[in-house]
A and B are shown apart, each in its own frame.
Chain A
């Protein structure tokens, strides 16, 4: 058993981090957060991400992809999560094999997820039923959201995920009927299809956030002084930071393991732990920043808001907890 990153995986992770820093660094993040009006998707950047291979990562080489597996996708999406890169990255990545142009970043793909759709206006292809979807004033300034009314008791129909039947082209007159297929097909390097990959990649993004906010908190705690000493010397602050790391490291083990086994149970566990690590980590990071944390200027709120948006994907925690409860009786 060698449950550690290989040198190649480490290099891949660093490579993705470098690309993201180049395409969406602190300056771009600031500009995006401060822009007025609904967020626009930067098509040039999207194509650059496609060129860098983010969407084609798991597409087999014979189909023009890079032919890597789920573990590598998870490492890449951890970096995506860390960088706060805007856009329907998970949906587009999952569409690489089926939607022309998705792999290269020419086509932007989003998907209906329960009663929410991210990036509806800016996407070229939408998976799922968008009937009655109306824009809401998204709490995350970097993620536009639409919400549609889902009749009580019809959650299954509303839970259509990425990979639902026929994609809806923008402007198409009759939308396809909602699909009850909750599995997201994913072609990994070996050509096998794994379910619930959207959940796993979301967990990976959350992990990236959890680790990033821990870093931000520690940086701030080392430099900000009160009572003549860095606040990180105060135990109350120290313990917030320690708990952030413990949650993030536990989530990391769960997410990486789920990438290797791809079982629904491991993926559900990864989602639960990663959602918790991201959301609570971002909150604690905000607390460590004090008044500064409550401003628009500090990036902390952007991490927290994105973590909340991602946590709402895929039915939320109830679905994962029920799945794992049922697993105990098998």
Chain B
């Protein structure tokens, strides 16, 4: 057991930290959260800077440890988050890298890395959320195209996306997990309507996507026809396995800021609150160690992250909500003021136990796939 990094890893860290130190001050100011085109431009611009500096591929080509260091250092330095590039860099990219043909990798990976193209995830449907395999969006063959009809929901960043990783049903008669196919759908194709949905935080973070006989080339299929469920599991393991790593670092920073705020506004004198902050310190320290543990495991197995991601996701999503609930206690009635720091974050933390598989679904996964308990009711 060893928590120290190799000289090469330390060298990578130092080089990155130095680059961040000189680059971050040159960034333009962050756009307003409601201005989607500006957000896209900001996020993809940042990705381009990373690419030009040689850090473009860190999300899926580098070793898990280098990715960990990358996320730790960028977060520590206060660098922008992946933002609109989220799905491309963290789900679609890794999936295409693992399952795509050489031609597909050639076509899609470069633009994702350079920040030229933005992806969204079209998995959920009104009737298929936790029961994802119940999806009904249909696709049938017409020559060298699939013709797709149906609708998707909760599609994050759909308004600004160029591509959608889309799950469709290609064999309605097969058992529900068997007749699914994974497609890359261009978002500018005819027949696509995007209707923004307002979240409880007030902004239109996600959308409903209606598909009316949208033509998608057969060449855009990743994996075999009707083998999409297996490909989906690859995507989901990236989503749960690696997508939250940087955020743990962010939470540790927030916690320290909270403590200082409490000291300055007198709430620190409340031993109950102080102890809650202390316990959260333990919690996020442990989550960081769990991250390092999972990364070391991934490094050793050299493959797709395992179900260990569900263990992490379960614990992390609840800890994050507890963090912002504690922030509310530090703020007192200020916690009702949307202009105060952390208040909007508290609202968005409510999605953590729902998005990317609800806590109940993660518990089922842990119980059935790790502990081997029987499937059932």
Instruction: Check if A245 sits within 8 Å of B366, measured CB to CB.
Output: yes
A235 — which chain B residues lie within 8 A by C-beta?
Answer: 360, 363-364, 376-377
A137 lies within 8 A of chain B by Cβ: no
Which chain A residue has the least Cβ–Cβ distance from B294? Answer: A253
Q: Mark B264-285, 1 if CB is under 8 A from A, else 0.
A: 0000000100111111011101
B141 lies within 8 A of chain A by Cβ: no
Q: Which of B9, B282, B287, B376 contacts A268 (CB 8 A)?
A: B282
Stretch at the interface among A17-25, A96-104, A321-329: A321-329
A155 lies within 8 A of chain B by Cβ: no
Q: Which of A214, A256, A266, A318 contacts B285 (CB 8 A)?
A: A266
CA distance A328 to B3 in the complex (A): 22
Q: Which of B3, B259, B276, B283 contacts A3 (CB 8 A)?
A: B3
Instruction: Check if A229 sits within 8 Å of B274, measured CB to CB.
Output: no
CB distance from B244 to the nearest CB of A (A): 14
B285 — which chain A residues lie within 8 A by C-beta?
Answer: 254, 257, 265-266, 269, 324
> Contacts A245-B366, A329-B259 known; A218 to B373 CB distance under 8 Å?
yes
B255 — which chain A residues lie within 8 A by C-beta?
Answer: 328
Instruction: Check if A324 sits within 8 Å of B289, measured CB to CB.
Output: no
Interface residues on B, range: 35 or more
> Contacts A254-B285, A320-B278 known; A4 to B371 CB distance under 8 Å?
no
CB distance from B306 to the nearest CB of A (A): 12
B368 lies within 8 A of chain A by Cβ: yes
B2 lies within 8 A of chain A by Cβ: yes
Q: Which of A239, A260, A318, A328 contacts B367 (CB 8 A)?
A: A239
Instruction: Check if B282 sits within 8 Å of A3, measured CB to CB.
Output: no
Which chain B residue has the least Cβ–Cβ distance from A236? Answer: B377
Q: Which of A4, A242, A254, A260 contacts B300 (CB 8 A)?
A: A4
Q: Which of A4, A243, A245 contacts B296 (CB 8 A)?
A: A4
A324 — which chain B residues lie within 8 A by C-beta?
Answer: 277-279, 281-282, 285
Instruction: Check if B2 sits within 8 Å of A2, measured CB to CB.
Output: yes
B276 — which chain A residues lie within 8 A by C-beta?
Answer: 321
Instruction: Check if B372 sits within 8 Å of A253, measured CB to CB.
Output: no
CA distance A273 to B279 in the complex (A): 9
B377 — which chain A residues lie within 8 A by C-beta?
Answer: 229, 233-235
Q: Which of B263, B286, B297, B373 contacts A251 (CB 8 A)?
A: B286
A238 lies within 8 A of chain B by Cβ: yes
CB distance from A24 to the nearest CB of B (A): 26
Q: Which of B258, B300, B370 has its CB near the most chain A CB atoms (within 10 A)?
A: B370
CA distance A322 to B287 in the complex (A): 19
A272 lies within 8 A of chain B by Cβ: yes
> Contacts A238-B363, A256-B289, A320-B278 known; A246 to B373 CB distance under 8 Å?
no
Within 8 A of B (CB), among A241-272: 241-243, 245-247, 249-254, 256-257, 259-261, 265-266, 268-270, 272
Within 8 A of B (CB), among A272-330: 272-273, 317-318, 320-329
A241 — which chain B residues lie within 8 A by C-beta?
Answer: 367, 371, 373
Instruction: Check if B367 sits within 8 Å of A1, measured CB to CB.
Output: no
Instruction: Check if A250 sits within 8 Å of B315, measured CB to CB.
Output: yes
CA distance A141 to B360 in the complex (A): 37
A269 — which chain B residues lie within 8 A by C-beta?
Answer: 281-283, 285-286
Which chain B residue has the least Cβ–Cβ distance from A325? Answer: B278
Give chain A's interface residues, CB within 8 Å of chain B: 1-6, 9, 71, 214, 218, 221-222, 229-230, 232-235, 237-239, 241-243, 245-247, 249-254, 256-257, 259-261, 265-266, 268-270, 272-273, 317-318, 320-329
Give chain B's interface residues, CB within 8 Å of chain A: 1-6, 9, 65, 68, 255-256, 258-260, 263, 271, 274-279, 281-283, 285-287, 289-290, 292-293, 295-297, 299-300, 308, 311, 314-315, 360, 362-364, 366-368, 370-377
